Amino acid sequence: MAKINFGGVEEEVVTREEFSLDKAREVLKDEVIAVLGYGVQGPAQSLNMKDNGFDVIIGQSSDYKRDWDRAIKDGWKPGKNLFSVEEAAQKGTIIQYLISDAGQMAMWPNIKPCLNEGDALYFSHGFSIAYKDQTGVIPPDNIDVILVAPKGSGTSVRRNYLQGSGINSSYAVFRDFTGRARERTLAIGIAIGSGYLFPTTFQNEVYSDLTGERGVLMGALAGVMEAQYQVLRKNGHSPSEAFNETVEELTQSLIRLVDENGMDWMYANCSATAQRGALDWRHNFRKAVLPVFKKLYKSVASGKETKIVLAANSAPDYQEKLGAELKEMRESEMWRAGAAVRSLRPENRKK
């Protein structure tokens, strides 16, 4: 493991130089990796592993026609490497449980009997194990229970792999029955194309993940954008101007500078006026949102957020309600303006 200094705190990470793809192939040479669920993470992780030469099969219910058809379109063949969820779980030695959190809870009574002694039950989210009192997902004692959690969507996991890079992932071992749990975990992490792997626990992974998704990564980002857009529009700015100053400049310019060398690099490559204003106002925004983030983390740690997710996602009309909420966002003036702005990008005008 490499010791890296993260902002003054030394951490140990695992890179592809230390744990090579060849080593991963050796560790997993006798394993059948069963990927259960072909929704968000399943396609990316399974295709990356398949391309890397691992023995992968898919477990997906044909009742979910969209996901079943997608698996077939991606080259998986029914009866050969595409099976029902239960049959794939029985055939696999490493079972990647990648269906939704609510789905994991609902399917667990069917999956648990399929696990054999010495198997590894793999997660990409600590949800079901960390909140086992709510989900009822309690693995048997005679298997390994492991986690590799890519820090990006399935789309990004696949895209970065095809581009020759990788999404960083956290990893954890909840139970080491075989004595091989850690090397199995790291091998899978390399197999799915991780950039590097850093250690966590199931609980820390889910606490940080739920906070991040509701916070900076999605919830806070959308909310802050909507607030700024509204203020600009109410003060007479056009939709195009409001959207460009709120979203387009961030996604097409500034965030790329942050990605290259950090926030200070982005500040250093902006105008002196922008630098001064941003440096001053960031303190106001931090003070304003800090109480919200404290409240959010408390809600995550208490299990309140989990209860909300499980109740909502288990409802029979969840997809209908989700569609309505996303439609409301899509048809808001800000995101209709966004669609118009994107259509004017040179690469889109050529189509």
CB distance 205 to 169 below 8 Å: no
Q: Can you tell me the distance from the alpha carbon of 23 to that of 106, in angstroms, rounded to the nearest whole number?
A: 36
Please give the full DSSP string across 225-254, using - where no structure is assigned: HHHHHHHHHHTT--HHHHHIIIIIHIIIII
- 283 is an active site residue: no
Closest CA to 342 of 233, 230, 240: 240
Spot the catalytic one: 34, 58, 104, 125.
125
Burial class (CB in 10 A: 0-12, 13-18, 19+), 49: buried
* Whole-angstrom distance, CA of residue 93 vs CA of residue 31: 6
The pair of three-digit structure tokens given for residue 272, joined into one six-digit string? 């002196």
Structure tokens at 95: 């079972």
Measure Cα distances from 86 to 105, 118, 126, 179, 343 in Å: 14, 18, 22, 26, 44
Q: Which residues contact 279 (CB under 8 A, 6 or more apart)?
A: 267
Provide φ and ψ at 15, rounded to 5°: -105, 170
**Catalytic residue annotation:** 125
